[in-house]
Amino acid sequence: MVLVLAGCGAPTDVQLAGRTPTPYPPSHLWTHDAQLPPDVRSDSPRLVIPGIRVPPSGNIRQLTALDVVKAEIAATQHLANQRALDPATAQEIVKCRPATPRCPVLPGKYHDLTGDGKDELNVAIDIGDGALSLRSYTIAKGKLIRIQLTSETVSSVDVVGKNMIVTAPADRRGYEFRTTYAWDKGRGVMIEKTAEARKSSPSPSPSPSPSPSSSTSSHGPIAEGRR
């Protein structure tokens, strides 16, 4: 059994969390060349994305990050309360093709964040000044639904178990900000679970290149933002 301090309650609130969950190795999503502009985080409620054909199988891996973002732009850019990208970035994305170099939309990553055994699509968009616009999508009842939207100064994004962990640089040398997002079934969105400042982890020593017969490791950076 473990004790967990409830972040949204009074300072004395303590919850009994039950058995310690089975640990999962982290899965790295993106590494980004972060600077230190003002934080531009902006969480938004879930949103049904129209204008895109949802696979009858419900397999979100059949959708690409670029197609999904273009559909969202088409549906929301005229709505001031839902527009999550500045017009210049949105226009640049609309012009992107699958082979377009340096497109702001990074390759999508697929992980089960809701615990239903099906993958969600996680997307990062380079919006400049060291910030990424992060969003996650799921398929439910034949509809594509955005369940997360946040724009932050980012140095890396990882998934551990069902949690998404966003690491950002702090203005104090040797420290970093770490925000954990988790699925809230009642609200149907990813919510901020914890946010903390902590000492930066030391950079790992470079590993020797695997031999042709070696299997590829599932750890380490698998995508980088534009520099």
Tokens for 130? 């060291």
What is residue 155's DSSP assignment? S
Can you point out the beta strands (E) in the chain? Answer: 3-5, 14-16, 26-31, 47-48, 109-111, 120-128, 131-140, 143-153, 156-160, 163-169, 175-184, 189-199
pLDDT in tens, 165-195: 999 988 888 889 899 999 999 999 999 999 9
Which of 4-18, 74-88, 212-226 tops mean pLDDT?
Answer: 74-88
Closest CA relative to residue 131, chosen from 149, 151, 145, 113: 151
Which residue has better confidence, 50 or 211?
50
Q: Looking only at Cα atoms, what is the longest distance across the chain?
A: 56
Burial of 153 (0-12, 13-18, 19+ CB in 10 A): buried
Tokens of 107: 């390759």
Domain ranges within the chain, ordered by starting residue:
26-199
pLDDT for 114-150, tens place per residue?
999 999 999 999 998 889 999 999 999 999 999 999 9
Please report where in the chains the tokens 């995508």 appear, as a residue.
223
Of 103, 44, 47, nearest in space to 75 by CA: 47
Question: What global pTM score does this model have?
Answer: 0.71
